[in-house]
Structure 1
Amino acid sequence: MNAKTRQRRPAFDREAGVAIAQALFHERGYDAVSLADLTEAMNIKPPSFYAAYGSKAALFERAMLRYAQENALPLDELLAPDRPPAQALPALLLAAAEQYGRDSLLRGCMITEGLRADDPAARQTAENLANGGIQAIRAYLDQVSPQEAQTLADYMAVTLRGLSASACNGMPYERLMQVARTAGRFIAHELAEKTEESTAASISSDP
């Protein structure tokens, strides 16, 4: 076969490669995905991989950014300033649990689970993205419940990460949702008690 009739190999689609990597990283976690796994799934050689992405950690960053764009929870809607925290925070937990447990393979939050990566660069990228979500929750709470903002933000961060880890460990969808409902009821109960205590204190202090 001469050069004129030789078939050319299709050009490598870098964005398609990011999507492939995203699925692998999400399903297995950063540390469990090797360079060989990535190049085999993309059907390319290591030199082509490095030319396209630079490094595994750099590809992980692109994959997480893609994941965030496609799967970010609608925080602006869930945490609208006119929505009381007793409604907003439980709704956020339910939305997260639904997302983390709906797929049989791609479970949990890819960004949250990226916080466990051994590679410092990969872990830092995950921290930067995760912190953005926590800061959004804290900013909302600073507006609507400033006295409880830090405690509630910490509680939400711990609960969201626990939901993600439980989903990755195989907790069934319905149980995951029930945990989110229970945590939401706890928040609503605590906030109601705080409101009652504040009201009682205000009444007792009146002349």
Structure 2
Amino acid sequence: MGMEKVKKGGVVGRPRAFDPDQALEAALGVFKNKGYEGASLSDLTEAMGINRPSLYAAFGNKEELFRKALARYSAGPTSGVVCAMNGPTARYAAERLLHAAVEAAGCPDYRGCLTVVGALSCSEDGAMVQQELCAQRLGIQDALRDRFLKGQADGDLSPSADADALARFIATVHFGLSVQAASGATPENLRKVVETAFEAWPA
């Protein structure tokens, strides 16, 4: 039977001839470069080095593949959100979040934050993906608001500050850094944006 595995009842089939982790990383690169709708199945299978049946068998359809790639991405660059929110003060949390975005933008293959560029504009076929990415962005904003409310309770953020508005502002800068980086802004350009943003920090 060669390389085929045999069990009682017949041939089970050949083992996978590709590394799922490497294939998923390749798919993530395609989604980061082209977005959800811009990435065709041909783009994905070519980058992953597999055919369509193998893609469907290992990862499901395109939407399921994107979700798996997004989970992988969230365990990387965006995992810094949790670390930032655990910082000692509200300002530290906001600064760490924005500086982490600047650091990510300095990577040679950076094409923007996947939660921003992944599906800003989609047809009905991509509506569920768009909603999921929107929920992730709102989740970061909510985490900021909660951290700022804690800062007010702890006494390191002015009680007169509008925690919700401040969270929206920092989240807007955070995601805007990604758009600027994808448009060619350098890390130094982005650091100056962060410095300017904190000139508006509540006294």
Asked if TM exceeds 0.5, the reply is: yes
Question: Counterparts of 1:74 and 1:43 in 2: how far apart (Å)?
Answer: 31
Question: Counterparts of 1:166 and 1:121 in 2: how far apart (Å)?
Answer: 26
Give a deviation string over 1:101-140, Cα, whole Å, max 9, x none: 1123223211222241511122122123223222211111
Partner of 1:185: 199
Question: Is 2:28 aligned against 1:22?
Answer: yes
Contact 1:73 1:96 in 2 (8 A): no
In structure 2, relative to structure 1, the CA distance for the partners of 1:184 and 1:111 (3 Å cut) is: same
Deviation at 1:44, TM superposition (A): 1.9
Query: Please, what is the CA RMSD of the aligned residues?
Result: 2.5
In structure 2, relative to structure 1, the CA distance for the partners of 1:35 and 1:81 (3 Å cut) is: closer
Which residue, out of 124, 127, 138, partners 2:134? 127
Give a deviation string over 1:11-35, Cα, whole Å, max 9, x none: 2332221111111111232222110
Unpaired runs of at least 5, structure 2: 4-13, 153-158
Question: Counterparts of 1:181 and 1:174 in 2: how far apart (Å)?
Answer: 11
Question: Counterparts of 2:43 and 2:69 in 1: how far apart (Å)?
Answer: 15
Q: Normalised by the size of structure 1, how large is the TM-score? A: 0.77
Which residue, out of 94, 99, 102, partners 1:94? 99
Deviation at 1:9, TM superposition (A): 8.4
In structure 2, relative to structure 1, the CA distance for the partners of 1:16 and 1:126 (3 Å cut) is: same
Write the mapping of 1:1-207 to structure 2, written as runs, cut at 5 A.
Answer: 4=2, 11-80=17-86, 82-83=88-89, 85-99=90-104, 101-118=105-122, 119-145=126-152, 147-187=161-201, 191-192=202-203
Amino acid in the other structure paired with 2:76: E
Question: Counterparts of 1:159 and 1:180 in 2: how far apart (Å)?
Answer: 8
- Larger CA Rg, structure 1 vs 2: 1
Q: How many pairs does the alignment contain?
A: 184
Amino acid in the other structure paired with 2:137: A
In structure 2, relative to structure 1, the CA distance for the partners of 1:80 and 1:9 (3 Å cut) is: closer
Q: Normalised by the size of structure 2, how large is the TM-score? A: 0.79
More helix by share: 1
